[in-house]
Amino acid sequence: MPPLLTIAFLTLREATRRRVLLFLGGASLIAIGLSTWGFVKLDEGSTQPQALIAVESVLVVLLAFAFSVVLAIAAAFLASPAIASEVDSGVALALLPRPFSRAEYVFGKWLGLATLLVAFTFVVGGLEFVAIGIAAGYHPPHPLGALAYLSAEGLALLTLALLASTRLPAIAGGIAAVAAFGASWIAGIVGGIAGALHNDGVQQGATAIGLLFPTDGLWRGAAFELQPVALMLAQEANESMRAQNPFATTAPPAGAFLTWTCCWMLALLAGAAYSFTRRDI
């Protein structure tokens, strides 16, 4: 097996053995159970089906946002110690002299964590959508598309945290990644408000932050995939609502933005490999 895959499997095994998966899975099942119970109760007490669908669609988007925050934190705190803690503890001293490159080590770590994160997103997110569909009869328009955007958002933060992990202590890298997630989200809101107020300077600044940390743009993509057409039309008609609502959007992310995000992640990953290759252990 190529060393890159050996490191990737090692990373997955560590997550399994250290009960990271068990904890995340258990906490997710509790969250799915509670949210599904809430949808059932909402369904029981409603007499207006159209209004109920509107409320349920908004709640699904809010749930997805909460899930995206969990994913962001999980990505940041899984990736930030991935390399830093092995260097600090001394585990890397025995491993790195083996016949493989530092780049293979970094890519292997990324592949293992990315597999874990994407699988977690699709399994837990999929279960949530299925549970709501069975219990409350509500089916969001494009759940797989939404999960793909949420995965991409998690991968972006994971890549950023892994880059930090090649140089920074684990806790500092984790905080930096979560701060980037927060900055991107706030920039999205501020950009919307600035757009409504026609303040070009602030809007450009917010756009720049959104490109520097593209997680909010990816979150907007997930929100777009989850919104019913009727809700989008209502937002389209109300500019101020659209501008200030971080949980809604009326258009999918542009192709150029998605291309930029892919390049951004590749650049960060290449940067992580370069940074770690140049580091004295």
Q: Which residues bind another protein (CB under 8 A)?
A: 1, 3, 6, 10, 14, 17-18, 89-91, 93-101, 278, 280-281
Give whichever of 90 and 126 is closer to another protein, judged by the CB atom.
Answer: 90
Q: Which is nearer to another protein, 88 or 200 (CB)?
A: 88
Residue whose CB is less far from another protein, 96 or 135: 96
109: tokens are 């770590």
C-beta closer to another protein: residue 24 or 193: 24
Cα distance between residue 212 and residue 54, in whole Å: 34
19 Ramachandran zone, left/alpha/beta (phi>0; psi -120 to 50): left
Q: How far is the CB of 281 from another protein (least distance, A)?
A: 4
Query: Least Å distance between CB 221 and another protein?
Result: 37
Select 26 or 90, whichever has its Cβ closest to another protein.
90
Toward another protein, which CB reaches closer, 16 or 238? Answer: 16
CA atoms of 145 and 214, how far apart (whole Å):
17
CA distance 50 to 37: 20
Q: How far is the CB of 155 from another protein (least distance, A)?
A: 25
Smallest gap from residue 26 Cβ to another protein (A): 19
Tell me the closest approach of the beta carbon of residue 104 to another protein, in angstroms.
Answer: 10
Give whichever of 95 and 258 is closer to another protein, judged by the CB atom: 95
Shortest distance, CB of residue 14 to another protein, whole angstroms? 6
CB of 118 to another protein, least distance (A): 23
Question: Which of 50-63 are b and which e, b meaning 16 or more Cβ less than 10 Å from the residue's Cβ?
Answer: eebbeebbbbbbeb
CB-CB neighbours of 230 under 10 Å: 12
